[in-house]
Chain A
Amino acid sequence: MTVSSLSDFSQLSARAIRDGIVSGEFSAAEIASAAYSRIDALEPDIHAFNELTPQLAEEAAARIDAKVAAGELLPPLAGVPAAFKDNMNLVGTHTTCSSRILKNYQSVYDCSAVRRLLDAGALPIGKCNMDEFAFGSSTENSAFGPTRNPWDLDRVPGGSSGGSAAAVAAGMVTVSLGSDTGGSIRQPGALTGTVAMKPTYGRVSRYGIVAFASSLDQIGPFTRSVEDAAMVLNAIAGHDDMDATSVREAVPDFTVGLGDGVKGLRVGVVRDMVDLEGCAPEVRAATESALATLATLGAEVGEIDLPMSQHGLAAYYIIGPAEASSNLARFDGIRYGYRAPDAADVLDLYMRSRAEGFGAESIRRIMLGTHALSSGYYDAYYGTAQKTRTLITREFAAAFERFDVLITPTAPTVAFKIGEKAEDPLSMYLSDVYTIPLNLAGLPGISVPCAKSATTGLPIGVQIIGNHFDESTMLRVASALEAALALDMTPPLTGI
């Protein structure tokens, strides 16, 4: 190991790490220890993790180093430090969903996407903090305290996959997995200056991720480069017999064509979304600037309105909570998880275990969803929301007849202050206005950093939306933009 090469560990890409291990520049064990050194230094201030798994990481690193010693071919993500949102099962870890109700729950099987990433050689560094059961956009709804944004410790990293985003942004790990139900990967990606992708619904198995809303949830990566995102997607994509909604669609090599540029690609800016009233001027400006860059690179830029998608937020806050209210029913204190002591009978046990085990936002969503599915209200709420969803899907389908990719801001504002929106759920919900329509339509989307705020220096992301199962084109546009902008997205980490 050369000290110089690892001193900038936090800047290494997945490919550089694998190449360094292959060439003998450093070992997987040294990479693991570099990751934990950085975590030791930063974690007390950032709180990206619920649990660290040094033993699992050491074992995985030892397997990689043994392969090196034996002269064997290394898997594509050999030695790459990875972190997982704490709603993904991994044997040997707790899977808490940042909830008191699962505080002591130990996984007895592996989440398929996690297993695939580890099979690709990644090192399991730890489990990341999140909004409880992924309900939130700031990671403040964690039973174990908020995660702080590495760019400004007084600000949120976004959410719900805020821990996964912060860990990558702060260089504590190279890649991480989050889950995205309404923007929970892309929005924290934008707020932390990371590359954050939600693949097409059905592209990545959901088996083993604790479900929030089954028809919306999708696992995806946080990385510091578009190429790393493509490499992670290569590892985790593809049909899984354990998930009936994972598709048998062919999985291309997503790294192929990343450098092909955007010449001739039809790029549509979603005009009515960019012009949305709640969108901060600096975000709007950054989006326009990114579009101008793409046009300069040869893309055919056009405009489109998606008026139905304006109703996405409303439909989402029916469908998401409806499914969540059902998915979270199993946390009842009977078989695992928190059980209220001294219950009088089974009903008392249910009511108290759930009331004491769930946080306020979880209870709010369960109540919303239960109400939306209730007899007499179902048609008005759930039925209407599903119809809206169909219309949004059709609207996107029509848009993709004109364009290869669509562009919107990722989030309407830069990272906000901790506590700023905590008491105002509706304003918090608006953080996901740009990301939610994709979940409803099942489309892939990626947030890439496109600017830093002139006033705060905080990162701003742009969302590139691809057609169903066409992540490749989306990644190609993201890669072109990344290369053209050449932004330094290293957080200042002042105050640590």
Chain B
Amino acid sequence: MAKDRLTEVLERYEAVIGLEIHTELTSLNSKMFCGCPVAFGGEPNTRVCPVCLGLPGALPVPNEAAVEATVLAGLSVECAIAPYSQFHRKQYFYPDMPKDYQISQYDLPFCGFGHVDIEVDGDGVAERIDLDAAVSANLLERDSDGYVTRIGVTRIHLEEDTGKMVHVGGSEGRISGADHSLVDFNRAGTPLMELVSEPDIRTPEEARRFAQKLRSIFLALGISDCSMEEGSMRVDGNVSVRPRGQVELGTKSEIKNMNSFKTLHDALAYEIVRQADEIDAGGRIVQETRHYDVGAKRTSALRSKEEAHDYRYFPEPDMVPFEFTPEWIEGIRARLPELPDARRDRFVRDFGLPKGDARTLAADASFADFFEEAVALTGPSLAKPLVNWALGDFSAYLNAEGISLGESRVTSAMLAELVELIGDGTISGKQGKVVFVEMTTSGDAPGAIVALRGMKQVSDSDAIEAAVDRVMAASPAEVANYRAGKTTLIGWFVGQVMREMKGQGNPGLVNEVLARKLDA
């Protein structure tokens, strides 16, 4: 998707986007209505029991921790918590659904009327064509970096996940052309929290930021691992376009299979352009569900909503309604941790971090915890170099190895020690990079590596002066050239002195001594 094609379309059409975000509550010990463990993958049909298999006579018993997690999520996005709520049955036949109904919530969800403020900066700002017209009451702030806009949260409710189908004999595991299908119920009954946004989103970039913001909040709450790749966070988008200035909404399509933040952006961008092209060509938009093909970078119709099921929702008679008292709700509110925005602001305030770095850090709660553990050891004066390491080499290492923080060989204490060794001049920044690589492979502490390798930086000015003198004595021609005005040779001299000192010279001091002697 060429960016200018999207912006060209957005100049003429306004996109109206709402997201439905399903988040598996992966941090819980048990499924939504039974005691089976919650986990990803595993031997098929090993984490099942009569309840999550929907065997005759089995009954669901709600997982209180899942209800609490959902209410916590609601409070984190400023939702009102319903004093009276209940589960409903959503009925349709599908082989991955053991009871042929899904226990979900209908007109009485746990949470509603919330909002999330998102910041858009960088390239994505350009998608918001109407920024100067200030037509949206949701635009809260704007400055030279970008803008802040408010996205309404319609509701958050709780339901159970389905099993997984494996279609055998078709292409890419899809059902068309398959010879037969297998069902794995390990996932069936996993607590699934669904957040529905208001159609307040106007650009694919805002959609991405909104989803990222929710991920950062849910990570801070510790209720899910929010992995789009493993499907523990799944985002569907409802998109329509209308000519700028038109009040009436266009016909929407629902986009599925957007399993990364980039895909979310690209799929919505594709769909907006597709709908605009369709209208430009005199066609009309059909209300339908469309599947995004990541490889082909396009959406295609899945099934028409016009043949949509009548879900025949009715109150789940196997459970009694929930009546939350204000005291109970306040008890949950007291469990709210520091949320990403507040943490970001604190990082800026307490450590003087650039806002962008602070936001990136705060977006991943465990990463931010890692940083805070390290900065507690180094003190705030080294916060900036620490962030640079954390977001730079350290993040690159985690990504390259495809591992999580918990699996990292480099601990927060080790990173703090490394930054301190550089900060106090024991080693140079360049040496630090070498030490870091060794830390990631050996798991040894940086101090031990420096000692073992004799990498200690030489800051003894006598030794540096002696080395400079030796280099100058051995290179009379270069000295003459330098003094004749070719001062760019300074770099060559630094290199020679560092080689003379086996790379352990303090680069600052080496520069300083060289400049003094050469300019003498």
Contacts and interface: CB of A to CB of B under 8 A. Distances in A.
Interface in B37-78: 50, 53-62
Nearest to A349: B95
B91 interface: yes
A373 interface: yes
Contacts of A102: 56
A243 B61 contact: yes
A329 B50 contact: no
B55 A109 contact: yes
Interface stretch (B149-157, B311-319, B408-416): B311-319
Nearest to A208: B57
B53 to A, nearest CB: 7
Which one of A323, A326, A346 has the greatest number of beta carbons of chain B within 10 Å?
A326
B18 interface: no
B202 interface: no
Given A108-B50, A335-B98, A244 B61 contact: yes
Nearest to B312: A373
A334 B312 contact: no
A242 interface: yes
A299 to B, nearest CB: 35
A27 interface: no
Contact of A336 (B55, B318, B319, B320): B55
Interface in A194-239: 206-211, 213-215
B61 A382 contact: no
Contact of A111 (B57, B99, B312): B57
A211 B57 contact: yes
B319 A244 contact: yes
B57 A329 contact: no
The A contact surface, by secondary structure, is: loop
Interface in A366-409: 370, 373-375, 378, 382
Interface residues of B, number: 29
Given A108-B50, A382-B314, A332 B100 contact: yes
A185 to B, nearest CB: 17
B91 A329 contact: yes
Contacts of A330: 54, 56, 98-100
Interface string A459-483: 0000000000000000000000000
A378 B101 contact: no
A77 interface: no
Contacts of B319: 244-245
A378 B89 CA distance: 14
A209 B57 contact: yes
Interface in A266-296: none
Contacts, number: 92
Interface in B472-516: none
A255 B55 CA distance: 35
A210 B99 CA distance: 12
Contact of A207 (B59, B100, B183, B317): B59
B328 interface: no
Interface in B86-119: 89, 91, 93, 95, 98-101
A255 B54 CA distance: 37
B101 A329 contact: yes
Given A326-B91, A374-B312, A375-B310, A243 B59 contact: yes
Nearest to A97: B56
A109 to B, nearest CB: 5
B58 A207 contact: yes
A244 B93 contact: no
A211 B314 CA distance: 16
21 contacts: A87-B57, A89-B56, A102-B56, A108-B50, A109-B55, A209-B57, A211-B318, A213-B317, A214-B317, A242-B61, A243-B59, A244-B62, A244-B319, A326-B314, A330-B54, A330-B100, A332-B93, A334-B95, A335-B98, A374-B312, A382-B314
* Nearest 3 A/B pairs, CB to CB: A329-B100, A215-B317, A214-B317
Given A329-B101, A330-B56, A334-B183, 19 more contacts: A102-B56, A105-B56, A108-B55, A109-B55, A111-B57, A207-B58, A208-B58, A211-B318, A215-B317, A241-B61, A242-B61, A243-B61, A326-B312, A330-B100, A331-B56, A335-B53, A335-B183, A350-B93, A374-B312
